[in-house]
Structure formats: structure tokens, C-alpha cells
Structure 1
């Protein structure tokens, strides 16, 4: 086994603050390396991380956390999640969920998303007035994706403030070195979220609407198969957790990157047609999800390393997205980058189902920030969250000039 020189400590504040120099050192040593403290392999290069995501001898194999009742609801929402399944179960569930998504929900929401983004930016501009720093995370980045997913599912407006705290508590379970307090909070959130969605699904059965939840309740495939109650609830929770966390963190990480590269911000403002490629570049440059684990179902070789059945390997997405073998000047932000095969949304059968919706949200929010301001600048130091796996900010003070 090859030890990463130096070992990659995912809890080191310096690595959390900026993991990319450590990634570069590790990539230069070997594409796949064993991490003894974590007890798993790490894939640092684009080719090997992509192989981890696509190789059918590697799977997502859910094993209940602490079997028993203590984490019962947390386990339930993962045991039935499409993200934690492999074919044929994954194929069946993705087919049903995709059929519900195929009813035009993303395009239906596009104008509404743009109106919401415009109004949120206008509110920030009014509060800032060109001189007062305002937090773009709480004022827009966190609010927009939760509102969009709630609208998509048909969650009543009065209930929407419940969603983000539930999601925040659950996703903290994906970090390393978590505490009992984190586990207890995640279980409470999962139990409350499950109970809420069971009641909402029952309401949609009685009174169907045109929302995605109604279509998930009623969808059937050609064989007459349908989602179970647990699969329905889990799918809704996954849409919120994965969807809003990714969009919030691309918004925060991406805007900070633009503010720290004023030349690229000016370039994008001068040519709004670059917005779609800029969004892809922001996702590549500072990935919102840094690590995705898979487990070997049989002995398999990845990047010269032999994994034994049962061993875990993690694709380090942020490292892969800065691989100089694939990306020219990978540490340079280039909003016009067109050759950009980033793997921020994953690859293979687990490619993100919500990617089209995320792109709509991000283009709307960054488009509004550019079109409804004449100037954007940092209003103070950005505060980063202390977690590695889900990479994001706690606060991003910005001065917005009308």
C-alpha cells in the first residue's frame, strides 16, 4: 500500500480551508493511495476518480449506522435512497423518479426561479446600497434552492422554513469525526422530516396537484410498479438534501471565486453569454462535494491499487477537477473554459438526477447578481464551514451597488 506523502488529514483546518495544494502533492505521488486513519483508498486523479464512479465492481452499499432504534429514521432515509442503491434496485427506482421528473417540472419552474432570484438580489441591493456589506448566503444562496425545491414538491409556504434546518442536521452525518450530539440531532431531524412527508404524501393522495410530489405518489412504470411509501419519502428528502446543499455551496464558493478574481468577474459582466460556461467552471474550480465513497463488491484494480472485496474507496471530486492531465491551467479560474469535463455532478449510474434543476437555479442567481448590480465587491472576510466533505461557506459579506 502506498501512503500519501504527507497524509491527507481531512480534519486539518488548513486542508479544510484550501485542500487544493494538498491534492496537488498527493496526485503527484500516486493516483490512488491508502489512507490508514480513514481506513479507505483515495482516488486523486480525474481518470481514477471517474473510474471509481463508473466501475461496476464498485457500489454504494448501505449498512445501517448503529443498527437498532437509535438512528432508525436516519437509516430509513438511506436504506431506501436511490443514491445508496445499485442495479437492479437502482435501475427500477431511477426509472420511476425520472418518469415523474419528465413531466416538465424543471422547465415549468424556470420563469418562477428567475423571478425569485431577481427579487432576492433586489432586496440585497436595497439593503446594501453600495456601501453596507450584506450576507449573500443567508440573503439569497440559502433561500433560493430551498424555495425552489419546496415549490417543486408542493410544500406549503408556511412549512418551508422547516426544511433547511432538517437538511443541515442530516448532512452533518456525512463528515468524518462526528460526535454523538451530531448523530442525535440528525436522527431527530430525520424523524421529523419523515413524519412530515408522510402526512404531505397522504394529502396529495386525497387532493392531487400538479407538483412533483403528486407525480411521485401516482407514477407507475410499464409493469405497473410504483414507489413504496419509504422510497417516496426518501426521494423527497434526497432531493432537498442533495439539491439545496450543492446549489447553496456552488453559489457561495463560486461568488467568492469571482470576487477574488475581479478580472473574470468583469469579463463575465461584459459578456453575459458566458454565463452557462461560467457556471460549469465555478462548479469545477471549487467543488461543493469533495468526496464520494464506494465499496468494492469484488477484487478490483483502480489506478494500480488492488482493492479487496469489502474495501472502500473515495473519489476526491475536487482533486479530480483540478487534475492538470485533463484541465489546462487547472488552478486558474476561466469563465470561458469550454473543455470542461468536470465530475461535480458525478458520473455513471449515479450521475445527479437534479443536475438540470441546479443549472437553472445557478444561472438564474448569478444572472440576477450580474444584471441587477453595477458592482460587486467583498465587504469583509468570508467565513468557511469547518467540514471537508461538503465544502461551503457560513457567511459571505458582499457590497452590492445598484
Structure 2
């Protein structure tokens, strides 16, 4: 049987961490030369063009989410998981990622109410207060590591709060997320899987008593929402809820942390004049967030399995083939975005970016991520008149591996009030 993990390193062959962090040259080449290509080393097809990516993500009759191989190695495989086919720790009744419609719609609806506009309006004051609280801690420092002090802490505190667990323990959640979402290759799989198993067991032991207590006294949080939810007259078990929150926490922390860190990098190094523009025109921030997602969120991709033979992408695909849709490459497709390799917060159509996916599996947490990014940036630019990069910063030395790709481990900057 083929390996359950599709190793992207065998497809990309980047020569440095910086190449992976800023893969625009590679995306440009693939879009022009190989918009659909088979990679023998990973035994998988890869799709880069905008319209082709949308087809893969939206046509669940031909491209299924019920796959045997995946690029996302989340959680761990335990010794009793005999079929050894990827992630086994999201309860079936709450797994919205590895299922197709119509079952997908039923499961998604159980989680969707936590991310409605009404819920976001209720959460907005809490998110705003957390941004102000974190900024106050470093507001008078001349230099700050914005990743360590802000962008890596902000999302985990928000998710801890929204799940309904003590925010004082947010550092524990960050450590667990870092380990549970670690990427692995064929050679490192066993070692990293053991690290993930340890982190998963620690997380379970911590959260299980909290879920039990909330069942007796539910509040206004995601865990309580899951406790109240019913499927065909059945409620979720405490274990199912714990396992589901592990995924929600990870998905809500990892991607938003990277988006925020990359946003500051873009304002320091891609277009240094953007910060002053946002400071003077904060109404531009929502559009700036969309451009960050399009241009600087270079790590967005999803995998599918070919459900039936077809040539919808212009090549013959066979049932069972693994296929990876590179949304971040689609986001720099010049057939959709004019001058795509330029960072431009005034771009009129950057809301067409596919960073959060497309179709039935569009990211459930996208509205929350956008809200967090808007508040994080707005609160920051209102506090500081300008920022500057720190001399001697070497990008290659400050990148660390994450589930989605290389991410910033540190980003020092100068602050001016």
C-alpha cells in the first residue's frame, strides 16, 4: 500500500527555507509550464491554475474528500489504528474534512452555528480586549519580537477563550498545537508521530475534566455548544468533544498565527510604505487583509482523491489517484489577478483569493480569521505611528517548520508611538 502521507517536499524540492516561505518563483514556473503535473516521487497529481483548482475543490462528484492519502498529518496514529490511513482522531460524526455531501452538510451544520455573524458580533469585544491587553505589554518597548509577543499568542488566547478554557493556560495550548501540527516526511514520521501522541495524551488529560464540568454547567462557548448539540437524537460523548476541540484549536491557531506574522513581514519587507497608508487610512485594513491572504499566505493547499475516471483538468485521471490543489499558486494566476506578483492593497478583486478554499469545504473559520486579522492590525496601527525593520535580520535563520510550510519563528521590529 502507498504511504498515507503525501510528502510535498518530494514535489517542491526547495533549496532553502526562504524559498519555501516565498515560493513565488516556483508558482510562476508551475503556472506557465505545468498547471497540472504528475509527481512520481509522491505518486500524486498537482494542480496550480486558478480555474483548475476551483474545479478540484468544488466538484465532489469527481474529486472526493474521502481519501486514503493526505498532505495534512494532523494528530497521531496510535498502535491500534490497524488500517494506518492518516488521521484517526477526529470523531466520525464531527469530521467535516474527510466526507462528501450530503453527509458533509449535516456534520458541518453542527459546528457552523459557532461561527455565525451573530456569534462573531458577540465575540468581537472579547477579541478587541485581548488585542489591547497584549499590545499594552510591549507598547513602551523600542524593539519587540512581534511573533513572540503578539502574532503567535493572540490566536491561541482567542481560541482558548472561545472554547471556554482558562486563558492562563494558553501557553500549554500553543505547545500542544505546535507539536500536533508538526509536518513529517517518510523518514521522520515515526519520531514525530511519537511526539504527537504524547502531546495528544497531555491535551486529553487536561481538557477531559473541563468538558465533564461544562456538561453539568454549560456556558457560552464552543465546548458548551457541542455539549448541547444532537445528532439524530444523540448527544456527543465527552471524548468526542475533546477530540474535536483538538482539531478546532489547531486549525484556529496555526493558520491565523501565520497570517498575522506574514502580514507584519509584508509591511516591513514587501511594501514598507503600506504601514503608513494603513495608519492614515484604517478603512483600508479589510482589503489589506485580503491581499495578505492572496499574496503572503503562501501555504494554502488541499488534497482530494479522484472519485471516478475523468479528464476534467485536460489530462486523464484514474479513480483512486491522489491530487493536490495549490490554492496559493492559484492566487497568483495572472489570468485572474493583474500583476499578481506585486503586493497591492488596492487590488479590486483580491477577495477572489482562494486561501480559505472554495465550494462546500470552504473554511468554516474564515470569518473568524478575517475578524481576528482586522482587529489585530487595526489595534496595532492605532497604537504605533510607524514601524521599522531591525538591521541584521536574516529571514533564513528565523523560519521554522509548520504543518502548512515554513513560518516565522521570530520577527523583530522597531516601534514608534
- TM-score of the two chains, using structure 2 as the length reference: 0.86
Question: How far does residue 193 in structure 1 lie from its aligned partner after superposition?
Answer: 2.2
**Secondary structure of residue in 1 paired with 2:302:** strand
Report the equivalent of 1:16: 20
Residue 327 and residue 85 in structure 1: after superposition, are their counterparts in 2 closer, same or farther (change >3 A)? same
Deviates more, 1:93-102 or 1:56-65: 56-65
Report the equivalent of 2:124: 110
Report the equivalent of 1:355: 366
**Secondary structure of residue in 1 paired with 2:323:** strand
Report if the CA contact (8 A) 1:53-1:348 is conserved. Answer: yes
Report the equivalent of 2:72: none
Report if the CA contact (8 A) 1:268-1:335 is conserved. Answer: no
Report if the CA contact (8 A) 1:10-1:388 is conserved. Answer: no
Offset from partner CA, 1:253-295 (integer Å, 9 cap, x none): 1110111111222222221110110001101112253321111
How big is the alpha-carbon RMSD for the aligned residues of Structure 1 and Structure 2? 2.5
Q: Are residues 1:255 and 2:264 paired?
A: yes
Offset from partner CA, 1:49-87 (integer Å, 9 cap, x none): 111111112122254976743799962237553222222
Of the candidates 46, 49, 63, which is equivalent to residue 42 of structure 1?
46
Offset from partner CA, 1:324-364 (integer Å, 9 cap, x none): 11111111111122212001111111111111111111011
Q: Summarize the alignment of residues 30-109 of structure 1 with structure 2, pairs less than 5 Å apart.
A: 30-56=34-60, 57-61=62-66, 63=68, 68-69=79-80, 75-77=88-90, 81-102=95-116, 104-109=118-123
Report the equivalent of 2:140: 126
Of the candidates 381, 387, 390, which is equivalent to residue 394 of structure 2?
381
Report the equivalent of 2:32: 28
Deviates more, 1:188-197 or 1:44-53: 188-197
Report the equivalent of 1:394: 409
Deviates more, 1:247-256 or 1:107-116: 107-116
**Which blocks of at least 5 consecutive residues in structure 2 are unaligned?**
1-9, 70-75
Residue 11 and residue 227 in structure 1: after superposition, are their counterparts in 2 closer, same or farther (change >3 A)? farther
Q: Summarize the alignment of residues 1-400 of structure 1 with structure 2, pairs less than 5 Å apart.
A: 8-10=11-13, 12-13=15-16, 15-56=19-60, 57-61=62-66, 63=68, 68-69=79-80, 75-77=88-90, 81-102=95-116, 104-128=118-142, 133-173=143-183, 178-220=188-230, 224-260=233-269, 261-287=271-297, 289-340=299-350, 341-379=352-390, 380-382=393-395, 383-386=398-401, 389-400=404-415
Question: How far does residue 100 in structure 1 lie from its aligned partner after superposition?
Answer: 4.2
**Secondary structure of residue in 2 paired with 1:23:** helix
**Which blocks of at least 5 consecutive residues in structure 1 are unaligned?**
1-6
Offset from partner CA, 1:102-121 (integer Å, 9 cap, x none): 49332212112112212322
Report the equivalent of 1:4: none
Distance 1:58 1:348 in 2: 12
- TM-score of the two chains, using structure 1 as the length reference: 0.89
Report if the CA contact (8 A) 2:115-2:365 is conserved. Answer: no
Question: How far does residue 303 in structure 1 lie from its aligned partner after superposition?
Answer: 2.3
Offset from partner CA, 1:130-168 (integer Å, 9 cap, x none): xxx321011000111001011101002343322111111
Report if the CA contact (8 A) 1:113-1:148 is conserved. Answer: yes
Distance 1:217 1:121 in 2: 34
Residue 227 and residue 90 in structure 1: after superposition, are their counterparts in 2 closer, same or farther (change >3 A)? farther
Report if the CA contact (8 A) 2:184-2:192 is conserved. Answer: no
Distance 1:275 1:372 in 2: 15
Report if the CA contact (8 A) 2:11-2:41 is conserved. Answer: no
**Secondary structure of residue in 2 paired with 1:385:** strand
Distance 1:263 1:295 in 2: 43
